[in-house]
Structure 1
Amino acid sequence: MTLALQIGSSADASPSPTPAEGTTGRFFHTAWEELPPVPEPVSLVDRLLLAGALTVLYAPSGLGKTEVALQLANAVANQTDFYGRTAGKSNVLYVDYEMGEQNFRRYGNRLGLRGMIRAEHDVPLLDLKPLIQAAIADGCQLVILDSYASLSNQTGHENAVNSNGVAELVLKPLADLAHQSGTAIVVLHHTNKGNVQYDGSQRIKALSDMMLKLTLNRRTRMLELNSDKSRYGVEPLSWDASGHPLLHGTQSEDASEHEDQRREWLLEQLRNGPCTVDDLEGEYQKVTGRSRKSLERDLSDTVNDGLVTRARVGRSNQFTLAATSMLA
């Protein structure tokens, strides 16, 4: 039986002529070193945000990714620094699916937004590409979309955030548009339940050029932006977050020192292997004199700070030392 897509029979095929050495054919016609030069990517925000790239910025809910995105927009619209990083100047399009027009305006006013920042709200997915193209034609080099979950849910697919097909449908056109136009497109997203990584399909990471994770380091009282993936030179950025709402009611210096000691004790236990709360509870109470609830909070803090990972095993959460902590 012959295959329907068989290219040809080897018995009947005549041998292809071999090009003489040094000659060029119809398919291979240009040597690599003779290709035209490719321009280097342009930083819209120095060592953080690149024009012509699709970036996914993700964080736990309530951490402040919308505020950070609007601060980025303000820095680019006014060519001001973003926490010490130089920004280029461009018009900015912000497409909001989360807050609504009036709440968004009030929030922007509180943050002191200025300059050419245009907000659109609840744009249908089919209208998104023409909207972005119109903005680009009018000098826009930064587009921010809030959020991926809202975009993916417009497709009508069940469990859309976790669908590879939905990620292709939503993110691939955005990536192509960013690459072709030289525009920075930033999509906001949230972490999974354990706050360990972004929520949803693996194709989200595959289709993006950069993944930026926003975390709150409770020990240092700093907000941190780190790259989970980058095809370009991105450097971590951190800034003071002592006024962050999640740090309100922070303990005294003595209490903070005791918290650090408990953290070190937990990390030491986890260096011996993964543990559940049940595994740690008895010894934790002996060493610290504190309750199971305190242990759960301390473990959650280490997860939020990226020192420990959490995974569901049976009916319990299992905590494992993160790779970065193993090197400490």
Structure 2
Amino acid sequence: MLCEGRVVIVTGAGRGIGREHALEFARQGAKVVVNDLGTTLQGGGRASDVAESVVAEIKDLGGEAVANGDDIASWDGAAGLVRTAVETFGGLDVLVNNAGFVRDRMLVSMSETEWDDVLRVHLKGHFAPLRHAGAYWREEAKAGRRPDARVINTSSGAGLLGSIGQGNYGAAKGGIATLTLIAASELARYGVTVNAIAPAARTRMTEDVFVDMMAKPDSGFDAMHPGNVSPLVVWLGSAASAHVSGRVFEVEGGMIGIADGWRHGPRLDRGARWVPAEVGPAVDGLLAEAAAPEAVYGAG
């Protein structure tokens, strides 16, 4: 019961990784707000029964949960989501930003709508709930009720290393990683930690990629099962993780790793303005000292 009594919001909790998060938080004693619009993989349509079915599963486990159908990428929807947690369960301890969809396209073929929609649901869909949850925790801290709160964002290897055909998704996920660092610094004063995960698992978005990576015949371990991601997220949502903030974790199967992001590398200070013709040799020297970048996913 690692999260006994904690109130948790999980966005996009109707299917895939989000559903597994919601169920595992419930098994660990949390009260869960199951947020999901029930949209298609491309973000169309709505189906309230998607979130409600997960709520029913949690109640069958003996847990407490409520469904929420607010649009997390809208200002009022994100505010309503936080309000649902506070009014239903009396507070909020953990926000797991997970919801999203894909509209993959090569850059030269991508439409403005495909770009805008993916940035909206992923990047704004992280910012808006984070902003309203952060404001709630700030007011709690000012009132003398210092939170022991957690935010777990969802980035991606596509955002950390890049992914061919996913310029919109990768840009959003890279933005989420940076937003995580900033939020961790800003919200620490209110008793809030902020971390992110970059998961690899078989979901609606990745089932074509991971279709052949099923359970190993000798062990029965399905390395791409979305439930493999949730133990880390639940631990990050617990009181035990108070010393961890501003980190991005890679998680896949039985592997947990820490992703090292941008950091200062080799430098050369001339002490004066550079002459353009001298820049090239200087850059070549710096590149010789720097580590080679990781390959972009899908690059030949």
Between structure 1 and structure 2, the one with the greater Rg is 1
TM over 0.5: no
TM-score range, shorter chain: 0.3 to 0.5
- What's the TM-score, normalizing by structure 2? 0.41
Normalized per residue, the structure richer in strand is 1
Which structure has more helix as a fraction of its residues?
2
Please give the TM-score of this superposition, normalised by the length of structure 1.
Answer: 0.38
